[in-house]
Amino acid sequence: MARRGGAEQEAGEERFSRLYRAHARDVLAYALPRAGGPEDAADVVAETFLVAWRRIGDVPSGDEGRLWLYGTARRVLANQRRGERRRDRLSSRLGSELAAAVAVPAPQGREGAALLRVLARLGEEDREILMLAGWEELKSPQIARVLGISAVAARVRLHRARRRLRAELAAEEEGAPEVSVKELGLEEGR
């Protein structure tokens, strides 16, 4: 967009200000029942007036300006709906592709059910580090990178989380800790 001269720019700014003061509520009232919610309607108003600012020389005067703004808002709404449909289709497609591509190895059987109950009782940090080690099969240095901590801190946290897991499993059911910890790949040495 070419830069306007000083007087021309001031005139354009003043015209835009008058246009906004006169019709912003009208455009909002137009957008509210047509948009997905108040936030979307506010986005429509903002985008409509951005177009008006960029094309202030094309905006007609008087009531024709309001009609021009409605037409612009209508196109903005249509673009918004198309974008939402594209996002929904992409999200749905990616969700099904990811679900098919990534099978989460959930523990099976009686031991697996006990293990899931115990994991749910552990703190979020313990659960995360144990799952990184067991389900993502990461070693301590890799876990450290994911968590943004030192490798030594990752080893210590993993050791402590394993100890808490064993204690919880022992309380859950006699004999389950060794089998379940190995099932998850959480045995020492990783």
44 half-sphere exposure, CB direction, 13 A CA radius:
30
Residue 57: pLDDT band with limits 50, 70, 90:
very high
Looking at residue 184, what is its pLDDT?
52
Q: What is the pTM for the complete model shown?
A: 0.50
* Distances, alpha carbon 154 to alpha carbons 51, 82, 163, 184, in Å: 52, 45, 14, 18
Amino acid making up residue 126: D
Residue 106 vs residue 80, higher pLDDT: 80
pLDDT at 14 over 60: yes
64: three-class secondary structure by DSSP: helix
* Distances, alpha carbon 58 to alpha carbons 47, 51, 183, in Å: 16, 10, 69
Q: Are 30 and 70 in contact (CB under 8 A)?
A: yes
pLDDT at 20 over 90: yes
Rounded to a whole number of angstroms, the distance between the first and last alpha carbons of the chain is 60
104 half-sphere exposure, CB direction, 13 A CA radius:
5
The total of other beta-carbon atoms located within 10 Å of residue 14's CB is 10
> Tens digit of pLDDT for each residue in 62-102?
899 999 999 999 999 999 999 999 998 988 888 777 766 66
Tokens of 28: 């909002």
Residue 140: pLDDT band with limits 50, 70, 90:
very high
Residue for token pair 């509520």: 25
Q: Round the average pLDDT of the chain to a whole number and report it.
A: 84
The total of other beta-carbon atoms located within 10 Å of residue 90's CB is 10
Looking at residue 35, what is its pLDDT?
93
